[in-house]
Amino acid sequence: DSGVTQTPKHLITATGQRVTLRCSPRSGDLSVYWYQQSLDQGLQFLIHYYNGEERAKGNILERFSAQQFPDLHSELNLSSLELGDSALYFCASSVGGTSSNEQFFGPGTRLTVL
Amino acid sequence: GENVEQHPSTLSVQEGDSAVIKCTYSDSASNYFPWYKQELGKRPQLIIDIRSNVGEKKDQRIAVTLNKTAKHFSLHITETQPEDSAVYFCAAITSGGSYIPTFGRGTSLIVHP
């Protein structure tokens, strides 16, 4: 157990819908990272937040947004869902805000869009 | 942007053999290279990493080498065991103000008892 929690574990929804994925970092970690893992695209970095502020954006679609709250938990919002958004979504946390800190991954949320 | 190529996509070895996975990257500004192990249905876990000011790093049966000139780095696993069976991902990262990792497509390592 990495200490990073993600809810829900599984999510099944329909095209066009909107969902929210939640992540709670390890105690003491200030950074949260979001990743998408699909069979055809592999592991893709989406976005990084550090202590409530956006630090870096990767291949995140405009339909997706994220935020990190004062208690450091983070939410990833996915809207106007498409079949291709079906994937495993991981969050990870680290102590600091740069790559010099080891990242700890959560168990993931499996999203299925029907 | 950065591009990371990882080979092979599948690697099958006998228990006790060595396994080598190679990654090449394109951005000379990348300076941090972690390796992750992901067992089926589980989360990725960092197993070893290397920074651009180091050529080699070892941790028990696992080692990573980096050739900055050629822009490639490799994961070496010696005395493989069935529990080493998993998908291994490499990544290249340009550290500094931002953290933007680019991952390889993964290598499925199968260790036969």
Beta bridge partners of residue A64, listed in sequence order: A78
Q: How confident is the model at residue A39 (pLDDT cuts 50, 70, 90)?
A: confident
Among A43, A44, A102, beta carbon nearest to B46:
A102
Set of chain A residues whose Cβ sits within 8 Å of the Cβ of B95: 98-100
Tokens found for residue A66: 């994220």
CB-based contact A105 B89, cutoff 8 Å: no
Torsion over CA: B9, B49, B96, A73 (sign): positive
Strand order across the A5-7 sheet: A5-7, A19-24, A74-78, A64-68
In degrees, rounded to 5, the angle at the alpha carbon of residue A99 between the alpha carbons of residues B81 and A73 is 95
Over residues A19-31, the pLDDT tens digits come to: 999 999 999 999 9
Please state, in angstroms and rounded to a whole number, the distance separating the CA atoms of residues A96 and A91: 15
Over residues B63-106, the pLDDT tens digits come to: 999 999 999 999 999 999 999 999 999 999 876 656 788 999 99
For residue A59, pLDDT over 70 is answered with yes
CB-based contact A98 B96, cutoff 8 Å: yes
Among A99, A102, A103, the residue to mutate for chain B (most B Cβ within 10 A)? A99
Among B44, B95, B98, beta carbon nearest to A100:
B95
Among B2, B7, B52, B99, the residue to mutate for chain A (most A Cβ within 10 A)? B99
Over residues A72-100, the pLDDT tens digits come to: 999 999 999 999 999 999 999 998 877 56
Over residues B18-54, the pLDDT tens digits come to: 999 999 999 888 889 999 999 998 999 999 999 888 8
For residue B5, pLDDT over 70 is answered with yes
Which residues touch B58 (CB under 8 Å, ≥6 apart)?
none
CB-based contact B99 A55, cutoff 8 Å: yes
B101 touches chain A (CB under 8 A): yes
Q: Which amino acid is at B47?
A: I
Set of chain A residues whose Cβ sits within 8 Å of the Cβ of B49: 102
For residue A114, pLDDT over 90 is answered with yes
Which residues touch A6 (CB under 8 Å, ≥6 apart)?
A21, A22, A23, A24, A89, A90, A91, A106, A107, A108, A109
Tell me, what's the pLDDT at A101? 74
Identify the closest residue of chain B to A107 by CA–CA distance: B43
